[in-house]
Structure formats: C-alpha cells, structure tokens
Structure 1
Amino acid sequence: MMMGKIEAQDMIWLLVRVKRHQVGGIKKVTVGGEFETYRDRQRRVRKRRIQGTGDRVFLPEHLLRKAGFEVFLPVRWDKKRKNRFSPEKELVAQPLLVDWMFVGWPADQNRWEDLMRLDVVMGVMGTGGRPIIMKASTVIGLMRRWGGGMLSPKCHQMARNSHDFEAGDAVRIDRGAWADFEAKVVEVKGANVSVVLDLFGRETPAEFSWMDLTPVAPR
C-alpha cells in the first residue's frame, strides 16, 4: 500500500446502530459557527449562534467522526415543502437506514472498545454474538449509489479508487433517468465517464459522473 493512500480493503467496516433517544435521532443539527453575546429579559448574559453560520450535520455521524472513526451514512434526496405555509419544495437529504450507519477504521488498528464506549452507539449488526465485518465491495457499492454527494473526503477517495474505469468496461447507471440501465465505457475524462447505451437497438452516447456508475462483472 502506498503511504498516505487509503484503500477500502484496508478498512474494517461495521454496520452500527445509534441510540436515537440520546442524540435526537438521525436528523440534521447545526454545529460550530460564530456566536454573539446578548442579554435576556432578566439582563443575564447569554450566547447565541449568528444566523447563517455553522454547519448542518447529522449528529450521530458528526459525533462518530469526532471520535476518529470513518463514517458512511447512506442518504437519499427527497423533495419536501420548505414550511407549512409555502407550497415551494426543496431537496432534503434523508438517511436511507433508520438509526444505522457504516463505521470503519484502519484494519491494522483495534478500535472495537473505543467504539463501544461511545454513548451514541447502541450496538452493531452481528450473528451468533459476533459482529459482522462488512465486505469492502458492499460498502463501496453503497457509497457509490447512496453517497448523495455527502461522502467525507476519505470515503470519496475510497469510492473513486475502488475501480478505475477503462474503455470497454460494462457499467450500470445508478441514478437519474437511466437508472438500472447498463452501458459500455467509451472514454474517461477526469471525474466524468463517457458511455454508450443500447436503446432499442441503437447506441446512444451519454456522459455521467463516476459516482453514478457501478462496474458490472463479466457474464
């Protein structure tokens, strides 16, 4: 392995269940940002976050990352009304798995006890009293399909390094109007991949982000 390069197979991945009642569920909260002081009605000095500052994060994911773990939370994007008074809708990221997320650490480390000591953790998926270590290919496949543009830099790099597309490769399209169609790679241009789809007996060219494609094993 090259120094500084993290590959999926060099990670231990577990499917972890978080304690909803302790962290408010898997929902977005604001962390960080800039604060200002003010006085309340009783003239006591208080602090409040300046509107528009801080980052919106899924709290369990944020807490696990602060503890030094790599975290992947599969998400889907749904259209929801901005508020009850407006018919206008906006795209909102929603966790795909209720109360569950993938948590990983380098394979040459033992972080099991560190993980189980965290208040946010309820348990892990397992069988016969033993945790199930997820296959790297399974986690990477989910990252590519359900990353939702919200992968951490490390997860993004893992997904990108998991397969170097080449001309002639067979791929499946995971998102958009052509979801579940298969195609053939024609050219790779940075983060974009040119493909041809067989539509009604005719080859139709198209271009996708590598994040929208999954390799298809030869039949």
Structure 2
Amino acid sequence: MSMMGKIEAQELQWFAVRVKRKQVGGIGRATVGGEFEAYRDREGRVRKRRISGTGTRVFLPEHILKRAGFQVFLPVKKVMKRRNRFNPERICVSQPLLVDWMFVGWPVGERRWHQLMALDVVSGVMGTGGHPVAIPEARMLQLMRQWGGGQLDANLHQRVKAAQDLRPGDLARVVAGPLQDHDLRVVEVTGPSVKGLMALLGGEIPVEVRAELLQPAVR
C-alpha cells in the first residue's frame, strides 16, 4: 500500500483494434484442438484428420491475440439460426457484434505496440491525430456486462463480477495483496476501483482498492 492508501492490482489499458477481414461477413471462426486419427488418402499416403465432434470452435483473430498474451474482449450478440443447411432445427449461437473490431488490453506501463501490429490479423487501432485512444476501464466493464455473452475469460469475468457485487455501505474483505484478510467499508465504486474506509492503527483510514481484490465480507 502506498502513502496515499491505494492498493494496486494489474491495471489494464484497452484499445479498439481492427482486424483484417479475410472473408465475407467479418470475423471468422475455426476449430482448434481436439482428437485426431490417421487415415490413408486415395493415393495411399498417411494423413491426419480431426475426429468429428472434438475440438473447440473459436473466433480466430480473438484466439490468435490471446495466444500472443493479450487480454481480448470480443462483444457478441445471440442470434437464432439453422443448425446447418441439411437440418432445419434452429439453435442459439454467438456472433460478433461488430463486423471487424474487438478490444485488446495489456498492463498499464507496458509498450506492446510492436507485438500487436506484427500479428497478421491486425490492420489498425482506433485513434485520433495519429495516436491510439485508450478506452477507460470503467467503460470496458460496462461493455463486458452488456455484450459479454457469457464468454468472458475467467479473469475478465472476475473483474466484472467484483465491480457488480459491491455497493456503498457494504462491508468487503481484501482477498489478496498487502492487506489481505482486512475488511473495509465501501464508500464509492468507480468502475474497476473501490474507495472505502479501513480500520487500522486505532482509526479509519481511506483506501482505494482494485475491485478484483475484494469480495463481500461474511457478516
């Protein structure tokens, strides 16, 4: 904790990133992983193929960016569509809300532009005057709550859930960091941060804690 009473977790900076459109309809899907079997083609050569029903369907640019170590948020919407052209059954599926945009984040203080732009799936970043425009994390949490579609990674889900669960007047417990297991009374929730009062050294000290470091205290 600093002299200002602020406890930091890993704060993220977010940017709107445009991905390259390699097919009609924008961001495409692919199957990754799964189980494979060997077979011989018509010319007798040994080949491998994925066993039907195995593997995970992913949005390809999102998958590549995550593999490169970036935090990624792809807003999605739920739509009903036919299972396939041979089966009229309609199922609910997730589709990207934006045709070729997603949000990419990394820790504040790190410079990862070279790594980002070196990826073959990225075509540009939203900005003004030749400079990228960072999106406030509080705004990102709002977007994740509205358009996450139940597909957020565990760490992003925890950030969203932590900010939702606490209200002014609540008693919260610090679950990580230098003040782990101490309680505080919530005064204000401002996006990813929570301001509160903590009983220390015989008095109440104002502190500011990242929301994901807190959980409602058991009374």
TM-score norm. by structure 2 comes to 0.69
**Is 1:69–1:104's contact at 8 Å kept on the other side of the alignment?**
yes
Structure showing greater radius of gyration is 2
Distance 2:56 2:33 in 1: 6
Measure how far apart 1:119 and its partner are: 1.0
Partner residue, 2:63: 62
CA–CA separation in structure 2 for the residues paired with 1:116 and 1:35: 33
Matched, 1:27 2:28: yes
Q: What letter is aligned with 2:32?
A: V
* Deviation string, structure 1 residues 106-147 (Cα, Å, up to 9, x no partner): 113211111111111000001111101001111110000100
Structure 2: where are the runs of 5+ without partners?
A: 1-5, 171-219
1:181 matched residue in structure 2: none
**Which residue does 2:112 correspond to in 1?**
111
Give 1:45's aligned amino acid.
V
CA distance in 1, matches of 2:57, 2:149: 15
Question: How many Å separate the matches in 2 of 1:34 and 1:113?
Answer: 35
Q: Provide the secondary structure at the position in 1 that maps to 2:102.
A: strand
Give, in whole Å, the separation in 2 of the partners of 1:157 and 1:76.
21
* Aligned equivalent of 1:162: 163
Counterpart AA for 1:140 = L
Segments of structure 1 that go 5 or more residues without pairing to the other structure are 170-219
Asked whether the 8 Å contact 1:20–1:99 carries over to 2, the reply is: yes
Q: Is the 1:23–1:59 Cα contact (8 Å) retained in structure 2?
A: no
Post-superposition shift, 1:25? 3.9
Secondary structure, in 3 states, of the residue corresponding to 1:21? coil
Q: Is the 8 A contact 2:25 2:99 kept in 1?
A: no
Quote the residue 2:18 is aligned against: 17
1:8-35 alpha-carbon deviations (Å, 9 max, x no partner) = xx10100000011289941221001111
Following superposition, the deviation at residue 163 of structure 1 comes to 3.7
Indicate whether 1:144 and 2:145 are aligned. yes
1:29/1:57 contact within 8 Å kept:
yes
Q: Is the 8 A contact 1:23 1:60 kept in 2?
A: no
- AA partner of residue 43 (structure 1): G
Residue identity matched to 1:11: L
Percent sequence identity over matched residues?
59
- Return closer, same or farther for 1:60/1:24 CA change in 2, 3 Å cut-off: farther
What is the aligned partner in structure 2 of residue 37 from structure 1? 38
Which residue of 2 is the match for residue 76 of structure 1?
A: 77
Asked whether the equivalents of residues 75 and 97 of structure 2 are also in contact (C-alpha less than 8 Å), the reply is yes
SS of 1:20 mapped into structure 2: coil
The CA distance in 2 between the partners of 1:73 and 1:138, in whole Å, is 14
CA apart distance, 1:159: 1.0
The one-letter code sitting in structure 2 at the alignment partner of 1:127 is T
> Which SS does the other structure have where 2:156 is aligned?
helix
> What CA RMSD, in Å, does the superposition of the two structures yield over aligned residues?
2.3
Q: How many residues align?
A: 165
What TM-score do the two structures reach when normalised by structure 1?
Answer: 0.69
